[in-house]
Amino acid sequence: MNKNKTHLICFDMDGVLISSMRIANRIFFDIVKRDLGLNAEPFKSDPKNLSISAKERFDMFWKDEIEEKGITQEQIDKALEDYRKEKLGVHLPLLPGAKEAVELIAEHFENIACVSSNADYVVEQELKQLGIGNYFKKITGTDGVKHSKPNPEIYEITAKFFKIAPKNSLVFEDSTNGVLSAKGAGMKVVGVTTGLEGHDELKSAGADTVLPDLTEVTLEMVNDLLNIE
């Protein structure tokens, strides 16, 4: 079978392939409080904060408190490393239809990426543990990305790597920030409600279609969204 080489398919990880975001969120804020003494309570209950990369949270939530306490970048980096190690120790199963959807796409498309608000090595390790790492030609995590979702940068970087126009790209996302990021880059988006937000939120953010989970992914749907005949 000749695989499609002119289009790009991207999968977010947390909330699309696996459901670890809320557990990771708890681990992160527990470590921030334990290791750095920062007040996590005002932020950890807001689901929208889950899609902000860990390293960006320090400037967004605690910039003044970090300065007041004299917390160094070295201390922050150590806390981030502890968070990533502990997070990698939590093994979660794939969400319904995730393996089948990735295999279906890999059967018909050459260019597949995982685009996630996690460090690159974290994504690589988790995908490997899940047994689907070999399907992805590129992993775009937070390494080398200045602005996290909803900024479109992470998807623009991914499209540029493959030398494929964003209009010929399709993304599977579970959060409004993720949808806004992909749409801002000019891509088509399938929202899935296995993560942070429901149908109405994803549709309002601009998702072209919304599915309850990846069990409903079909080749016909993907081709229709990308105008592939």
Domain ranges for the chain, please list them: 4-19+93-225, 21-88
pLDDT of 23: 78
**What does pLDDT average to in each consecutive run of 10 residues of the chain (229 residues)?**
94 90 81 91 73 81 92 93 82 89 98 93 89 96 89 97 98 95 98 92 97 97 96
Q: Which amino acid is at 142?
A: T
- Kindly tell me the sign of the dihedral angle through the C-alpha atoms of 208, 176, 150, 54: negative
Contact of 172 with 214, CB cutoff 8 Å: yes
Which of 131, 100, 129, 132 has its CA nearest to residue 114?
132
| CA–CA gap between residue 179 and residue 190 (Å, rounded) | 8
**According to CATH, what is the number of the domain 4-19+93-225?**
3.40.50.1000
pLDDT of 1: 73
pLDDT of 113: 98
Supply the DSSP symbol for 133: G
pLDDT of 48: 66
Give start and end residues of each alpha helix (H) in 89-198.
Answer: 98-108, 120-130, 153-162, 176-184
Give start and end residues of each alpha helix (H) in 52-97.
Answer: 54-69, 73-88
pLDDT of 165: 97
